[in-house]
Structures are given as structure tokens and as C-alpha cells.
Structure 1
Amino acid sequence: MKISVVTAVMNGADTLPRAIKSLREQTYGNVEHIVQDGGSTDGTLEFLRDHDHTNMAVVSAKDAGIYDAINTGISRATGDVIGLLHADDQLASADTLEQVARAMRDPEIDGVYGDLQYIGQGDPAPIVRHWKAGSYARSRLKWGWMPPHPTLYLRREVFERLGVYDTSFRISGDYDAMLRYLVRGNIRLAYIPQVMVRMQVGGASNRSLSQMMRKSREDYRAIRRHRVGGVGTLIAKNLSKLPQFFNHP
């Protein structure tokens, strides 16, 4: 089973080395790394050239945003299973992809996900939030539940059957896609009860009040589009994040 890991990056020279280091430490061997660069000017491409290897494929081209870049990366991937590793993220342990491959050996499973930690800057990086996802149940969607997107690995067939990310979303394209896969596609997910990814805080969705407002509007659009609830679902989705700040190890 080949696993494709897609990294969409734009000027990620500060954090990309940690992401790539975590990928190269994986004990699972059959992995390809698809890097889709948006035209970085900060040394990202030089770093990638200096750290190139046979399982890495780098393309640099202008794109129409993060989801457009991810879609292009997915179209280039040749693996049986596809997941994402953003430039600000790190695989949490050396056996993360081993765990993905083990779970995906079950032919009844369409995808897997696990827990996510948000970390601050520094060495060692402090844990800011701990997202313990828990097992999936369709009824949880109306309460704003979603699998942590950076931990999600799906069979290629899911993208082929149900499509990739809707680029009309600027922030919540991942939420929209996951609802599409779960509601319309009725895909079957397995939960890996361990931290799979550590993600550095400071993403696009919470950089400013206007971005937070835009994310809420886009979340609500996805909720209504896939008929999983209404304003109550949006409120529950936002409130569900609060325990993550207090329940981390």
C-alpha cells in the first residue's frame, strides 16, 4: 500500500524543515511526498532542492489559494491512500503512517483519523490545545463534530468518487469536504486513538477578527449545504473547542 503525503506550501521555510524531518523519520517505507509550492520567495525552494530525495516530487507554480494547491497536489499523487502534511505541521511519532497503513488494511474502511495537538513556538514547543477526536458517529455532526483534518487519510477512491476541495471556500474548504464525504458519500472512518499530528498555532482561520468572522460564515454555509444543522450546530462547533485548551497532557 502506497501512502501519498501532500504538502501545499507558500513561503514556509521557517517550519517546513520540521515537517519534512517528521516525515523522513517514519518507519513505514512505501511513502511518496508530493510538494506543491505556490511560488515561494523565502528560501523554501532552495531548502527543498537541498533536501530532495527519490520519494519527493516538487512542483512550483502559481495557484488560486491553499485548496487549489492541495487539489493540484492530490491530482499528482499516485498512492492508494492520500493525506496532507502542511508546512506548519509535524507527524507526532515515527509510527504514525505505520498506524495509518495498519488500519487501512481493512477493506471496509475508507479512511482514518486521530487526535491533534496545537503547539506554540519554542523548543520544546508547548502544547496549547489537545483535540481528542473520539470515535465517529453520524449523530455527532449536528453538534459540530468533525475529524481533525490534518490527521485525515483517505483512499484515493474517495476523492475520485466525491471530488476534492471546493475552491470557492477560502478557509473552511476542509470542513465542507469532510461533510460531503461523510454525509453524501457515507464513507466509513476508523479512529486511531493517539496524537497523529502536531500543528503550530497561528493558522489563517484565527489571524484576525475578520478571518474568524469569515470562517464562521463559511462553516455555516457548509453546515446548511450538507443539511447537518443550523446556527446551533455552528455554535456547538465553536464551543466544542474550549475543552481542548484545558484537557491536554
Structure 2
Amino acid sequence: MKISVLTVTWNSAATVRHTLDSFFAQSHEDKELVVIDGASRDDTVEIVKSYPRDAIRLVCEPDEGMYDALNKALALHGGDAVGVLNSDDAYHDAHVLSRIASALREADIVHGHLRFVSDHATKRVVRRWQATPRPARGFRTGWMPAHPTFYVRREVAERVGPFDCTLATAADYDWMLRAVELHGYRTAMVDRVMVDMQAGGRSTASLGAHIRHNLEALRSRRRWLRSGAVDYALLAKPARKLGQFVRPRSAPGRPA
């Protein structure tokens, strides 16, 4: 199974080496990296070009933001499965893509655990996202997968279509909701940490960003799930994340 990994960059020279190194360290050999750069003004493009070119599709041109760039990447990818690795994130270990490929033999969509780290030099963990299997009512309960761990078969991506660029911070939430809830695809959880995500993304950078993200997520549920003006998930979704700031006990044989 060929896995396409989509990475959006813009002035990412300070972090993108960690991202690229973690991709090229993957034991799964049948893979490609699609990098969409928004005309960076630093050394990002030169750094990307310094890696093996036969495994990278690189486009460098102005875009209308991250989700517009991801839509370009979706249109270009050539894999049997696809997911996103942000330019300040890294795979947790060398076997993540192998586990994804294995899980996708029996499922259409997979996701797993996520660690938020202060930086990739120290890997100091500031938050842990412990994935759980999809509950019976899915997104209506406030449940959602961690987008950096979310991988789908090609047919899922083609059926779901592009990211909704009218959503400034919740287009990834909306895309996952459509993938999981609207078409009856099989969803599986990989019970391992998949990605180390550097803290400070647009949807988590401030209280205002949290509020905007949750209101946009409500807008998505109202559109696709026919939720009311205020629904259960509006409170349950942020409440579910409170436990991510408490260190969980590790399962035997599982990394913390």
C-alpha cells in the first residue's frame, strides 16, 4: 500500500527538518511526501530540496492559506491512502506508516494517539491525546480523532472531497466529520502514539482560537448532522480534552 503524506509549509525552516527526517526514517517503503509551500521567504524550499527528490512532490507558489494548500496536495497525491503531517510535527517512531498500512487492510479510516510536545529537541510532553474508538453517536458526543493521526483510503478522500476553506480553524474537523459520519466507512483505532505535535497550532494557540474553533465545529455539525443552534457536543467536545492535560497511565508495552 502506497501512503501519501501531505505537508504544507510556509517559512518553516526552523522545524521542517524534524518533519522530513521522521518521514524518511519510516520503515514503510512505499510512500511519498507531497509538500505544498506557500512561497516561503526563508530556507524552507532549499531544505526540502536537500532530501531525496524521488520521494517528494514539491510545489512552491502562493496560496490562500493552509486548507487551500492541503486541497492542492489532495489533488496531487498518488497513494492508496493519505494523511497529513504538519511542518512542525514529526512521527513518533519509525513504524507509524507501517502500522497505518496494516490497519487499513481491515478499515477505511484509521487514527491513533497524539503527543503535544514543547519542541522536537527535548520532546517534553505538555499534553497527551489518548484516542478512543468511535462511540455509537460519533461526533454528536463530542468525540473526534486527532487530525495529525487521521489516515484514509484513497476512495474515502475522493468521496469526501476538498477541505472547506470558509472554515478558518475547523476545516480539518469538518473533513474528518464528513469522512467518518456520512458514508458508513469502517473506522479503526491504532493503539499507539503516532505523532509528536509541536504545541501552539492555530486552533489551540489562545482562548479566542479555542472559541472560534468550537463555534466553527458547531457550524459543521449543524450543516452535516442537523444539530441544533446549541448541541451536546458544543460542551462535550472541549470537556473531553481536559483529561489530555493529566498524565495517563501507560498500558503495558505501550509508550507513554
Counterpart of 1:193 (choices 191, 195, 198) is: 191
Cα distance in 2 for partners of 1:48, 1:163 equals: 27
> Which of the residues 105, 124, 128 maps onto 2:122?
124
Which residue of the partner structure matches residue 111 of structure 2? Answer: 113
CA displacement at 1:122 relative to structure 2: 6.2
State the match for 2:252 in structure 1. none
- Consecutive unaligned residues of structure 2, counting only runs of 5 or more, are 249-255
Per-residue CA deviation, residues 50-72 of structure 1 (Å, 9 max, x unaligned), is 22431111110111111110010
Q: Distance in 1 between matches of 2:197 and 2:179?
A: 23
2:137 corresponds in structure 1 to 139
- C-alpha RMSD over aligned residues: 1.5
Amino acid at match of 2:218: Y
- Could you list the per-position Cα deviations for residues 178-205 of structure 1 after superposition, in whole angstroms to 9, with x for gaps in the alignment? 1111221222111110000110000011
User: Does the aligned pair in 1 maintain the 2:120–2:198 contact within 8 Å?
Assistant: no
- TM-score normalised per structure 2: 0.92
Show the counterpart of 2:159: 161
Letter of the 1:200 counterpart: Q
Q: Given the alignment of the two structures, is residue 223 of structure 1 paired with residue 224 of structure 2, yes or no?
A: no
Deviates more, 1:29-38 or 1:114-123: 114-123
Report 1:59-74 matches (<5 A): 59-74=59-74
Contact 2:135–2:143 (CA<8 Å) still a contact in 1?
A: no
Q: Are 2:149 and 2:195, in contact at CA under 8 Å, matched by a contact in 1?
A: yes
- Is 1:243 matched up with 2:243? yes
Unaligned runs of 5+ in 1: none
Letter in 1 for 2:34: I
Identity of aligned residues (%): 37
Instruction: State how far apart, in whole Å, the 1-side matches of 2:2 and 2:97 are.
Output: 10
Query: Hey, what does 1:152 align to over in structure 2?
Result: 150
Shift in alpha-carbon separation, 1:74–1:20, aligned structure 2, 3 A: same
Offset, 1:137: 2.5
Scaled by the length of structure 1, the TM-score of the pair is 0.94
Letter of the structure 1 residue corresponding to residue 62 of structure 2? K
Measure the CA separation in 1 of the matches of 2:105 and 2:184: 19
Is residue 71–residue 164 contact of structure 1 (8 Å, CA) maintained in 2? Answer: yes
Tell me the distance in 2 between the aligned counterparts of 1:37 and 1:72. 10
User: What is the count of residue pairs matched by the alignment?
Assistant: 247
How far the C-alpha of 1:228 sits from its partner, in A, is 6.5
- Could you tell me which amino acid in structure 2 is paired with residue 19 of structure 1? T
The residue identity in structure 2 corresponding to 1:181 is A
Change (3 A) 1:59 1:240: same
